[in-house]
Amino acid sequence: MRSILTLWLFLVPFCIINLGINIFVVTGNYISHQKSALLHLRNNLVFNPSMSEKLVHWNQSHDFCQWSGVTCDNKAHVIALDLSEESISGGLDNSSSLFNLQFLQNLNLAYNEFDSEVPSELHRLKNLRYLNLSNAGFKGQIPNEISYLRKLVFLDLSTSLHTTKLEETNKAKFLQNLTEIKELYLDGVKMSVKGKEWGQALSSLQNLQIVSMSSCFLLGPIDSSLVKLQSLSVLRLNNNNFSSSVPETFGGLTNLTTLHLRNCNLIGMFPKQIFQISNLQALDLSDNQNLQGSLPYFQHNVFLRSLNLSRTCFSGQLPTSIHNLRMVSSLDLSNSKFHGRLPNSISELTSLVHLDLSFNNFTGSLPFFNMSKNLSYLSINNNSLEGEVPSFYFKGLENLIFIDLGRNFLNGSVPSSLFTLPSLRGLSLSHNKFEGLLDEFPNASSSPLEFLDISGIIYKGIFLGLSFISKN
């Protein structure tokens, strides 16, 4: 018994030492294998060396974990690969050594020119959490195998050229498999799927925070089941053909910060509850010419920064509570059906940069915007504003680049402060009743104005037909 114990004590350290050697050999072999895989990948990619900032610097003599675009963990496993904007052309086939990087968690191939189908072997990278193939030049059917990457938290397959599609697969199953996904970008991917199918597929992904599916040929109606996505903060569905109303239940998306539904052929009455979402910062409903609605009473705790209702059937008067939009920087209500006097409270929008109220039926006098020190674009043309504009009206608005007051009933002298604005490049005063034009302002010649429209103004009984006088 004693001899057996002695033998055991002798063998244990020997086994441990050998085990350590084996671990070292296996680890060393795998590190060498990763370097070989990266070099093989580089040698089989077609790219422009003069435009490359990453691949062009990969070589045998350096630690591959230090190569540009490569990130390793503390065990020298490649966990992230960023080859975006590397001017890569040609294809990426299923035999690529890329798929041997089994520890890879992040893969970014965006903004290249691969000109091949998305390789189905991507599913071998089972540890992927981040996959970005946006505008990478891929074309054709997106392989269903991508949905096997169940650890994905971020997926971007968007394309501006509509070169990829999800038409030959079960779209619902493709989406529903991505149970961990938080950010999903499929802009420009041809899907041609009805509202109930894509809506209910998305609504099963409870971790979703960002959904961007603009120009996907999606059909309506917009499914109310999307309200189940209580973590949703961004929803962008521009340029689809829903031919439906917006569900009132969207008012229950309490974490929503961005809602973009531009050019979606929306109809019916837009729910006022959505304006009251406390976290909402950006709302774009433009180019929905059959969408009706009106502005609500705005509470004090509104965080809207951008509101675009242009080219819709929104109507009614602007509420005096509009001054509560204290954080709004862009407000576009142009080409709609608003009417009535512009409330003086609009002058309290101190964060305004872009204001377009053109092509409505606003009446009364022009409100002061002297508190909007960041204002760069102001257009109120084609309304029914009247009265004089004081000479000091624009004084202090040094960031103004463009002003259009055309086609109103404004009268009196042209405000002299216009020609002291250091940034002003464009000015339209056309079809008003102003008196006292450029020859009365000695500083006019030194103004930075590049074009000026004073057409259609009757001055001292003479009809002026001058339009877009250019200094160039």
The string of pLDDT tens digits covering residues 434-463 is 876 555 555 556 668 888 898 876 554 444
Stretches where the chain sits below pLDDT 50 are 1-2, 4-26, 460-464, 466-472
At residue 11, the pLDDT reads 47
CA distance 442 to 104: 68
Give the three-class secondary structure for 192.
coil
Single-letter residue type at 89: S
Per-residue pLDDT at 228: 94
Pairing, β 377-379 against β 402-404: parallel
Domains and CATH numbers, the chain: 69-470 (3.80.10.10)
The angle formed by the CA atoms of residues 384, 390 and 396, to the nearest 5 degrees, is 110
- How far is residue 122 from each of residues 167, 235, 312, measured CA to CA in Å? 19, 27, 44
pLDDT reported for residue 302? 87
pLDDT at 175: 85
Task: Name which of 430, 368, 367 is nearest 396 in CA terms.
Answer: 368
For residues 307 and 116, give the distance between their C-alpha atoms in angstroms, rounded to a whole number. 40
Of all helices (H) and strands (E), which one includes residue 232? none
The answer to whether 190 touches 213, Cβ cutoff 8 Å, is no
Torsion sign (Cα): 143, 149, 155, 156: negative
Q: What is the pLDDT at residue 90?
A: 84
- For 242-286, how does the pLDDT look when each residue is reduced to its tens digit (9 = 90+)? 999 999 999 999 999 999 999 999 999 999 999 999 999 999 999
Q: End-to-end distance of the chain based on CA atoms, in angstroms?
A: 106
Buried b (16+ CB within 10 A) or exposed e, 280-301: bbbbbbbbbeebbbbbeebeee
Residue for token digits 């996959």?
Answer: 131
Question: How many of the other CB atoms lie within 10 Å of CB of 9?
Answer: 9
Closest CA to 361 of 342, 348, 347: 342
Whole-angstrom Cα distance, residue 430 to residue 468? 10
What is the reported pLDDT for 7?
44
Six token digits for residue 8: 């055991």
* Residue 439 burial (CB count, 10 A): 7
Say which amino acid occupies 237.
Answer: L
